[in-house]
Amino acid sequence: MAKQVTITGGLNTINGCTWMNNYRDLKSKFKIMSDDSMYRDMATNVLLLMFEHDEKIFRPELFELILHDFGMVALIETDTAKYTPVIFVPVNGERYADGFFKDCVCFDMIAREYIFTDWRNNNNILVFFNNNTITPDNFIDRHAAMLTDVDISLQANVKFSRKKPVPIARDKKVKNQIDQIFSDLDNGEQKTVIADLNLGDFAGSMKPIDVLNLTEVESSKYIQYLSNLHDNLISRLFFHMGLSISDNGKQAQISIEELNKNKSASLAVCLPWYEARKRGFEDAKRKTGEEWKFDFSLLWRKELEQQTATDNVEEQSSEPQKESEQIVEKEVEDEQQSNDE
């Protein structure tokens, strides 16, 4: 059967699936959607690289995606794989001592239902939580929305900063000639103006044509502030993923100690994700009797190693100062005792 293809306003649609074809041709609302989606996809793809999982798990990226989006995930056996990630939903009814419902229903990616009772003691289902609060993560959507807003403001200020007053034509013939002049200039071409078109004398002997000033050149001064805000938001976004990015705009004013503190804080943000998953795999080992490989991926391991090395150096460098302070304190105490005697 032939695929149904539709191309409209920069969007391609094949069998109901739509994607961007040409960004410049998109309408404003679709550009906003495209920008927002771009930032969300960029951050999500980075986030899904944080952990390395056991090859027993079918599609580890799906396992992580469900965890971040729903706060919980389960691994169950399906006709697809022995350990398939599915959406985990506790069902109202009898509870455990900590308040969790004992029964649950799971959904795979094609909306098939799987019902389990007493899931904590049921070896046919392995449940994992995203963090200590068992909550999904919404920082990506929030930062994507803010970055999109900044991009919209940037584009608006770039356009308004263009120093090009709008000519007022006396008739359609003059309008067409003016439009052609601007078109030629945009293409890098410079042509002679026909005098009898009464365009006005740009040299001054004839009356200049009237213009309408709709643009604001002063808007250009805001571009640098919006660019800095964009960079700050990117840094904040990666901070939430445990990756510290130095802000070039402030780098000269930040000390090495402050940079190290920022890196320590960013790494601390991702530790609840690690600990929650680690507990889940420990429970999986108890239920299945199998070993489960799990760790930070290479990039995050390097960040942790560098920060650990930095902390050790700072601790060692502080030891002589502590010893010196202790010697001074001892000398002061001895001197006071001597004076008392």
Q: How far is CA 158 from CA 215, 217, 222, 226, in A?
A: 10, 9, 9, 11
* Range with lowest mean pLDDT among 127-141, 256-270, 299-313: 256-270
Quote the number of domains for the chain: 2
Per residue in 23-57, pLDDT (tens digit) is: 888 888 888 999 999 999 999 999 999 999 999 99
pLDDT of residue 175: 84
**Is the confidence at residue 135, as pLDDT, over 50?**
yes
Please report whether residue 61 resides in a domain.
Answer: yes
Please report whether residue 308 resides in a domain.
Answer: no
Residue given tokens 């000519």 in the structure block: 167
In sequence order, which residues have a C-beta less than 8 Å from that of residue 64 and are 6 or more positions away?
47, 48, 50, 51, 53
Give DSSP secondary structure letters for 235-290.
Answer: HHHHHTTT-----TTTGGG--HHHHHHHHHHHHHHHHHHHHHHHHHHHHHHHHH--
pLDDT of residue 201: 44
Query: Is 117 or 1 the better-scoring residue by pLDDT?
Result: 117
Regarding whether 170 and 105 lie in a shared domain, the answer is no
pLDDT of residue 6: 44
Please report whether residue 95 resides in a domain.
Answer: yes
Reported as half-sphere exposure (CB side, CA atoms, 13 A), residue 179 has a value of 7
Please report whether residue 80 resides in a domain.
Answer: yes
d(CA 289, CA 292): 10
Percent share of the chain, pLDDT over 90? 49
Residue 33 is encoded by which pair of tokens? 């959607």
Please report whether residue 139 resides in a domain.
Answer: no
Please report whether residue 303 resides in a domain.
Answer: no
Per residue in 115-127, pLDDT (tens digit) is: 999 999 999 999 9
Domain boundary among 129, 156, 180: 129
**Is the confidence at residue 8, as pLDDT, over 60?**
no
d(CA 15, CA 61): 26
**Is the confidence at residue 68, as pLDDT, over 70?**
yes
**Is the confidence at residue 150, as pLDDT, over 90?**
yes
pLDDT of residue 163: 62
Query: Which pTM value belongs to this model?
Result: 0.71
Contact 169, 178 (CB under 8 A): yes
Please report whether residue 21 resides in a domain.
Answer: no
What is the gyration radius of the CA atoms in the chain, in angstroms? 32
| CATH code of the domain covering residue 93 | 2.40.500.10
Please report whether residue 169 resides in a domain.
Answer: yes
d(CA 262, CA 158): 33
d(CA 124, CA 107): 15
Give DSSP secondary structure letters for 152-220.
Answer: HHHHHHHHHT---PEE--SSHHHHHHHHHHHHHHHTT---PPPGGG----TTSSSPPPPEE----GGGG
Which domain range does residue 92 map to? Answer: 54-129
